[in-house]
Amino acid sequence: MLTTILIIVGGFILLASILSIADNLLQIEAKKSGIDTAKENMSLFPRIGDLFKKKAPSFAKDNYHSLTKGHNIKLSGEAQGPVQDVHVNRFAIQPPNFRGIAPIPKMEVNIGDEVKAGDVLFHDKANPAIKYTSPVSGELVELNRGEKRSISEIVILADKEQKHKKFDVPSLEGDTVSANIKDTLMEAGLWPLINARPFDVIADPTVTPRDIFISGFNTAPLSPDMDIVVDGRMDEFQKGIDVLNHLTDGTVFLSLGVDNKGGVLASTNNAEIHWFSGPHPAGNVGVQIHHISPIKMKDVVWTLDVQDVISIGNLFKNGTVDLRRVVALTGASMNENKFVRTSAGANIGELVGDSITVDNYRIVAGNVLTGKETSTSKYLNISDNQITVLKEGDEHELFGWLLPVSPRPSVSGTFPNFLFPNFKFDPDTNTHGEKRAFVVTGEYERMLPMDIYPQHIMKAIMSNDYERMEGLGILELSEEDVALCEFACTSKQPLQSILRTGLDMMREQM
């Protein structure tokens, strides 16, 4: 009995070692002939991942990424219908929107001055070449200050008839085209629309990025459909892509969702299109970078929103600054959820009007995961394309932790939510529990489709362990990527703010 077993085991070991040596030799040969073994499977065996991978749809061909981790939070109050033009009187540019500029910028205009759309309002003291311009024409009426006399809002009363400053646009030919484009963008105030990773800050004009990434679809809760946002502005978008191509030696990547075959953006030329399927956060550009071409040590990549690319394209097509945005008014606490067309910095109260139906509410500029709390007297941030209105949840709930009365979104299997996959929730802002130490494990990993251990990064940040933070990939993350983890967190930890602390610490070190 024993000998037979030993012989069988020995045979297996022999066979396994022959196979594994052969496999290794194949890999070595493949590497010698310059094949990237991380992408092409040169092994004798199929990869476990490949066996379970979904087949790429026919239109996606090569650049297909199927993500399984994450979660779509289904909420009611989705914006509907055609885009409506609304008239807004007051707009504001908010210096704190721009991450990385000095808190007290140098003003170039005064209260009472008339400005045109595209006229310079202020510049960053640390980087005077980067100008910040007005999104609309009108009269500068207020200069609101925040903590330590920093400037928080520059308010402009918009003209009925918008006047645009005309810019001389360089041709896209010649040796100095890249420098010319940068100068034009900085002069017209569109440079701050370009974000740089790592750290998710305003791009440094002296740097040539490795690649430029644009996410062409939204997956965040109640976020607007990109087809509606781009509708009728495809020419400008294409122009913007063409311009961006001159700013990098690498590639301009455009990521699209497979759900509607990419929509109108699928016809984009001059950019490498990658296809993604999967739940939120598949639409986050950070997740897409991780799967297309991850940020390595000392790499810098730039990211832009689709609406920002359109603004850049418009500048080079028409010579004007046009920061018009399609904004989705969402949330079940409004009586009408619609799309409106306005400019960046529009007054929230004027946009929302009297459509809020509950007494105790919270207005969020952005989506419920990454947006900022705001109010009717405040203004849209520079990159917002969404306003969400939520019920405040400042009430006690009897045995709420055990037997919740109202349905609430959750990724946990302890709620019957998985029985109703299409139910749309109307959540409130209650925390549903108190903050605790990290106890549950594996929860964040399930929410983040990246080869990253978020919980361990958080712990490294809390213990100021720079080496470990960097090693575990903090530079690949931005707040929006861990927002879903923060939503799901059983211990109610503030992951986004912990991550930002860590990123700021890293940035100071560089």
Partner 1 sequence: MGLLDFWKRIEPDKKKSPFLHTAYDAFFTFMYSPKSVTKGGVHIRDGMDLKRTMVHVVIAMQLCYLFGTYNIGHQHFVAAGQYLGFLEGFHLKLAHGLIKLLPLFIWTNVVGLGIEFYFAAKRGHAVEEGFLVSGALIPLIMPPDLPIWILCVSVAFAVIIGKEAFGGTGMNIWNVALLARVFVFFAYPTTISGDTVWVSGFADAEGNMSLAPGAMADYGFWHNLCNTLFGWIGIDGFNAAKTAVVDGYSGATPLALAYAGGWEAVTEQYSAAQMWWGTIPGSVGETSKIFILLGAIFLIVTRVASWRIMVSMFLGAVAMSLLLNAWGATPFMTVPWYYQFWMGSFFFAMAFMATDPVTACSTNRGKWIYGFLIGFIGMIVRVMNPAYPEGWMLAILFLNTFSALIDHYVLEANISKRLSRA
Q: Does 369 bind partner 1 (CB under 8 A)?
A: yes
Q: Site residues for partner 1, window 58-117 (CB under 8 A)?
A: 73
- What values do phi and psi take at 256, rounded to 5? -130, 150
Q: Site residues for partner 1, window 345-364 (CB under 8 A)?
A: 362, 364
Which residue in the set 183, 430, 501, 505 belongs to the binding site for partner 1 (CB under 8 A)?
430
Give the whole-angstrom CA distance, residue 199 versus residue 208: 16
**Which tokens hold the place of 124?**
């960053």
Pick from 443, 431, 199: which is nearest to 300 by CA? 199
Q: Does 384 bind partner 1 (CB under 8 A)?
A: no
Closer of 323 and 495 to partner 1 (Cβ): 495
489 within 8 A of 185, measured Cβ to Cβ: no
Which residue in the set 82, 173, 354, 398 belongs to the binding site for partner 1 (CB under 8 A)?
398
Closer of 144 and 441 to partner 1 (Cβ): 441
Q: Does 165 bind partner 1 (CB under 8 A)?
A: no
- What values do phi and psi take at 212, rounded to 5? -125, 135
Pick from 262, 285, 308, 314: which is nearest to 211 by CA? 285
Closer of 155 and 458 to partner 1 (Cβ): 458
Binding mask 465-504 for partner 1 (x = CB under 8 A): ---x--xxx---------x--xxxxxxx-xxxx-------
Closer of 206 and 431 to partner 1 (Cβ): 431
Which residue in the set 69, 141, 246, 415 belongs to the binding site for partner 1 (CB under 8 A)?
415
Minimum distance from residue 466 beta carbon to partner 1 (Å): 13
Report the residue count for the chain. Answer: 510
Going from the C-alpha of 66 to that of each of 53, 63, 220, 256, 271, the distances in angstroms are 7, 10, 17, 12, 20
Say how many residues touch partner 1, by CB under 8 A: 76
Minimum distance from residue 176 beta carbon to partner 1 (Å): 32
Minimum distance from residue 178 beta carbon to partner 1 (Å): 26
Give the distance, in angstroms, between the CA of residue 412 and the centroid of all CA atoms in the same chain.
25
**Which residues lie below 8 Å from residue 406, measured CB to CB, with a gap of 6+?**
none
SS3 string, 190-259, reads: CHHHCEEECCCEECCCCCCCCCEEEECCCCCCCCCCHHHHHCCCHHHHHHHHHHHHCCCCCCEEEEEECC
Exposure b/e, 474-497, CB count within 10 A at least 16 = b = bbbbbbbbbbbbbbbbeeebebbe
70 within 8 A of 447, measured Cβ to Cβ: yes
Closer of 247 and 488 to partner 1 (Cβ): 488
256 within 8 A of 46, measured Cβ to Cβ: no
Q: Does 410 bind partner 1 (CB under 8 A)?
A: yes
Minimum distance from residue 225 beta carbon to partner 1 (Å): 21
Binding mask 24-63 for partner 1 (x = CB under 8 A): ----------------------------------------
Minimum distance from residue 338 beta carbon to partner 1 (Å): 21
Binding mask 282-311 for partner 1 (x = CB under 8 A): ------------x-xxx-------------
**E strand residue ranges, 323-378:** 324-330, 338-343, 361-365, 372-374
Query: Which of these ranges, 259-267, 280-288, 343-351, 425-433, lies near partner 1 under the rule CB under 8 A?
Result: 425-433
Binding mask 238-277 for partner 1 (x = CB under 8 A): ----------------------------------------
Closer of 118 and 473 to partner 1 (Cβ): 473
Closer of 52 and 399 to partner 1 (Cβ): 399
Query: Which of these ranges, 193-201, 317-325, 351-359, 399-407, lies near partner 1 under the rule CB under 8 A?
Result: 399-407
Strands 120-124 and 106-107, sheet pairing: antiparallel
Closer of 51 and 297 to partner 1 (Cβ): 297
Q: Between helices 177-187 and 306-318, what is the axis angle to 10°?
A: 100
Closer of 115 and 495 to partner 1 (Cβ): 495
Amino acid found at 294: P
Which residue in the set 347, 370, 385, 478 belongs to the binding site for partner 1 (CB under 8 A)?
370
Pick from 462, 137, 446, 59: which is nearest to 322 by CA? 137
Which residue in the set 103, 432, 465, 505 belongs to the binding site for partner 1 (CB under 8 A)?
432
Q: Site residues for partner 1, window 433-462 (CB under 8 A)?
A: 433-434, 436-442, 445, 451-453, 455-456
Give the whole-angstrom CA distance, residue 237 versus residue 230: 8
Pick from 270, 288, 301: which is nearest to 218 by CA? 288
